[in-house]
Structure 1
């Protein structure tokens, strides 16, 4: 059989771009198709613009705290259109850089939607068709507007929140995951009155409960009104105002409603069914440990597989795919000790098992924890607290999890992940010299456990 390409990648996000570049470096003839902008969710409408808005929001605290350090700051104001324009300039620069990198790697960029016609065939929306020895699906995920209630169409998703023409003075966010709490933190500091509604008793299901409860209190301190256990039941639009009926009977009037209740894999209308690709119940491509689907020529990486939906994971999966298929170096992704960060203020950095997970898996665990005022707060007068927690195996002393709430927690989690992957024990932490004065030094100076948890007999 004759092929036009060795590999066609569908989707030019982080995972797809990495796979395309690495495959080309191994000598493959590669094309990558993208119907929107090169860079995918992370660069265009996810991690990068989100972090820029997080940084913008933290100037709110900086201006307030400056007086405690002898600075006299005059009247300040916030310009929403200026932030949106600055964000757009930066993501355009990054998107162009991604495209240039693909070109310099020898990858052909096809700016069109791609649809599979069979296990090796692809039809593009520009009228072209091509055949490839292998096809990689890397289309990522998309927000879901749920629950399905009257008026839900008046809500927006995280795709639109970055580019609102007018800053919302009153914002209702529905959801309790990364996106919901991050935008709650951002918009509260930028000046909006934020309401956060979610089904559970605490946000961030799946995170350590001590982090969840403390973040909840920190968001309340920042002015976020929590509506735990309450969800919208009906939304009515009156001019520029959204009237929201809530399940707890307390209605709201807001300027904007952000629906952040989840995302789904983007596998719709890609022709996967025609190619015989097996999909999971939620639409994700079912793949094995080498990212291969049930069809020998079709692979998938990133959020479209719904494994661990984080950008670095997609990049690693793309790298391993290309090395395995085109580099003659069979490689699989090791998902253990995958660190993550939640860019609220205060920030969360976490790696390894939660307390509940560790107790269920290992039975006997020791908990080391500390909380303190960061040095900055001693002069600013802010009531901010840092919280750190290490979860340690009760018999062999291995550190099973590390959880941090406070400034630069994500930076610390990245470095702790290296130690945990190497099997570091609490003795290793204790024997490591501290850097003073830092917050991170507390990770190596917690000497006595606060709790010893043992199985109930």
Structure 2
């Protein structure tokens, strides 16, 4: 059978774009790609990139106060949100153009509309056109989930947060995951009064307990009002019309599970993300979906239908952009180069861009202790640049070490620029470095990271 395309990709995020352009540009495959929104997907358009730029913006207030303590003459007048937003939107437009250029140069045919799977080898576009493809790749990512509460639509999600008309004076963030905590730190740094509700006992569930507590303490010290064991029961307009991106005149009245009522200018829900599989025709085509709607795949990203594959957040494996890109590359290697390549999802470094940042790779203390006897090496201290001006912010450095093999099973860093440090520590952990390998490495002085190679005695054995 002659197909219109060798590969048709549904979804123009980082994973889908990488798979499409490599398949077309490096293997000569005939590739089509459909994206109903904007090329670049969550990471580039409404996730990692705009978030990190907002992190940069939010850190300058603290930096200017510290500069004054170091002897600089500084005048701080406040943050111009409209000016920043205009520049941010221009940068996102530029990046979308870069993605479009990469696809065009590789020879990928791009369709700016929604697509769905018609059958094992057919894709139907929203305009009714149907194309056949030898292989179909689902790379539609995920979307924010709203809680099932009264008037949840009065709130916004991470999709809308970058496009607010004005900076909210009083902001409630609902959730305790990394997106919620990053946004809390960002808006606190920009000048909003931030309150955070989380239903659990501590923020950042799934990360190392000691690091979680350390971050929560710093967030509260810097003015974020964290309410643990608290959820939203319902919301109402406190007065005025308002809309999604601009606040109601009287704000939003929030009823909490503790029995209290609060009023905020905006409510941001960061209560999890779900795979984008609704309305794609996957189940009708024979593709198996999981409990959360995720596409079920094997180690080669292949679904129950041999011609259909899926990568990235839509599979709900590891929701990180670099992982989606790797899955896309492995897909091309497997399908178009005849070299079956599973994706290695073990020991993936990650960073949470709170203030201070949290970088981690490997097992948490509790995870490691549940598997085998371990030694914990940990220190907290005031770094030189903070201690000099009397700041109380502290750094945490932690190694989780196997007693039997001496391998470093986990590294956890809470500090400014922890994301940069954990990338390099991740190389050592991935290579199987032992505690003695760390000890043999000469310290770079004076730095914060030198503590990772000077931790001599365990603080506890489990």
**TM-score bin, normalised by smaller chain:** over 0.9
**In structure 2, what is the Cα distance between the partners aligned to 1:133 and 1:311?**
26
Question: In the alignment, which residue of structure 2 is the partner of 1:20?
Answer: 20
Counterpart check, 1:354 vs 2:367? no
Structure 1 residues 73-82 or 203-212, which shifts more? 73-82
**In structure 1, what is the Cα distance between the partners aligned to 2:69 and 2:55?**
23
Counterpart check, 1:249 vs 2:250? no
**In structure 2, what is the Cα distance between the partners aligned to 1:245 and 1:299?**
44
- What are the Cα deviations for residues 160-186 of structure 1, in whole angstroms up to 9, with x where unaligned? 111111110000111010110000000
Aligned match of 1:327 in 333, 337, 344?
Answer: 337
Question: In the alignment, which residue of structure 2 is the partner of 1:65?
Answer: 66
Question: In the alignment, which residue of structure 1 is the partner of 2:245?
Answer: none
Question: In the alignment, which residue of structure 2 is the partner of 1:304?
Answer: 314
**In structure 1, what is the Cα distance between the partners aligned to 2:7 and 2:177?**
35
How far apart are 1:384 and its partner, in Å? 1.0
How far apart are 1:75 and its partner, in Å? 3.3
Point out where structure 2 has 5 or more consecutive residues left out of the alignment.
Answer: 241-247
Structure 1 residues 297-306 or 75-84, which shifts more? 75-84
| TM-score after normalising by structure 1 | 0.97
| TM-score after normalising by structure 2 | 0.96
**In structure 2, what is the Cα distance between the partners aligned to 1:396 and 1:289?**
28
Aligned ranges for residues 360-439 of structure 1 at < 5 Å? 360-362=370-372, 364-439=373-448
Where do 4+ consecutive residues of structure 1 move more than 6 Å?
none
Aligned ranges for residues 105-144 of structure 1 at < 5 Å? 105-144=106-145
Partners of 1:22 and 1:323 within 8 A in 2: no
**Secondary structure, in 3 states, of the residue corresponding to 2:282?**
coil
Partners of 1:118 and 1:275 within 8 A in 2: yes
Question: In the alignment, which residue of structure 1 is the partner of 2:350?
Answer: 340
**In structure 1, what is the Cα distance between the partners aligned to 2:224 and 2:292?**
32
Partners of 2:64 and 2:76 within 8 A in 1: no
Question: In the alignment, which residue of structure 1 is the partner of 2:291?
Answer: 281
- What are the Cα deviations for residues 235-294 of structure 1, in whole angstroms up to 9, with x where unaligned? 010222101111101211000000111110000011112211110011000000000000
Question: In the alignment, which residue of structure 2 is the partner of 1:153?
Answer: 153
**In structure 2, what is the Cα distance between the partners aligned to 1:22 and 1:145?**
35
Structure 1 residues 7-16 or 101-110, which shifts more? 101-110
**In structure 1, what is the Cα distance between the partners aligned to 2:370 and 2:27?**
44
**In structure 1, what is the Cα distance between the partners aligned to 2:441 and 2:69?**
34
Question: In the alignment, which residue of structure 1 is the partner of 2:243?
Answer: none
How far apart are 1:37 and its partner, in Å? 0.6
Task: Give the length in aligned residue pairs.
Answer: 451
- What are the Cα deviations for residues 307-347 of structure 1, in whole angstroms up to 9, with x where unaligned? 01000110000000011100122111111110110001100
**Secondary structure, in 3 states, of the residue corresponding to 1:316?**
helix
| Root mean square deviation of aligned Cα | 0.9
Structure 1 residues 18-27 or 131-140, which shifts more? 18-27
How far apart are 1:82 and its partner, in Å? 1.0
Partners of 1:17 and 1:102 within 8 A in 2: yes
**In structure 1, what is the Cα distance between the partners aligned to 2:165 and 2:69?**
36
